[in-house]
Amino acid sequence: MRFLCSSSRTISLLSIVSSVLSNKTIIGGAYSAAGYLISVMQTVAVLEVLHGAIGIVPSGFLSPLMQWSGRTHFILAIVGQINEVQDSPWLAITLVGWCIGEMIRYPHYALTCLGRCPYWLTYLRYTGFIIIYPTGLVGELLIMYKALPHVKERNLYANFFSVFPFSYYQFLWAVLLVYPFLWLKLYLQLFKQRKSKLGKAEKHHGKRKRM
């Protein structure tokens, strides 16, 4: 599963880069080149949430659920339904950030399980997020904000939200307001993990060098 996800992210990234190089611009092309594959693999990533819930992996349930639901809502409910945001350069930047992050995370997990993870990959895993995550956050917020007038104009998901005392437009505004605070919780949690994981990796690496 993780090998498949890592491979799909690599293919997606190469497709986006190829599109940018052929079009000679970052505006447009990213979603048409890799949007479908990213959407499918992001949906399938719900298995990671289930794995955490039943204890197969030590990541827990809440943090993977928050990340999965946020990204899945973004790519399926917003980007996939509103053509006007698909050509945004910020979407290309966001998708590239997602791909790079997962291309680091999945191999790190697999090699750690095998006890063969090199220190440089652990360092990259717990350092790369410092830049990748804020970039993704800004991109997602800007895309959601850009989508608002189109959501309102089309009364998107009106049937589904008819049972609630608010519309999807109002819901999306609430998401925009709450999203940074939920994201910050995950971001700070990764910094705690970084200190712990790098400390352990340094000790292990030092022992292997002395041997």
Please name which of 141, 35, 23, 7 lies closest in space to residue 92, comparing C-alpha atoms. 35
How far apart CA 111 and CA 104 sit, in angstroms, is: 11
Beta-strand (E) ranges in the chain?
none
Mean pLDDT of the chain: 88
Please name which of 151, 31, 38, 36 lies closest in space to residue 87, comparing C-alpha atoms. 31
pTM attached to this predicted model: 0.88
Q: Which residue range is the domain that position 145 belongs to?
A: 1-209
Structure confidence at residue 35 (pLDDT): 92
Number of domains in the chain: 1
pLDDT, tens digit, 9 for 90 and up, residues 164-195: 999 999 999 999 999 999 999 889 988 998 98
How far apart CA 135 and CA 147 sit, in angstroms, is: 18
CA dist list (Å): 171 to 43, 137, 150, 178: 21, 18, 14, 11
pLDDT, tens digit, 9 for 90 and up, residues 46-97: 988 887 788 776 667 788 888 899 999 999 999 999 999 999 999 999 999 9
Q: Which residues are catalytic?
A: 133, 140
Q: What angle do CA 110, 3, 48 make, to 5 degrees?
A: 75
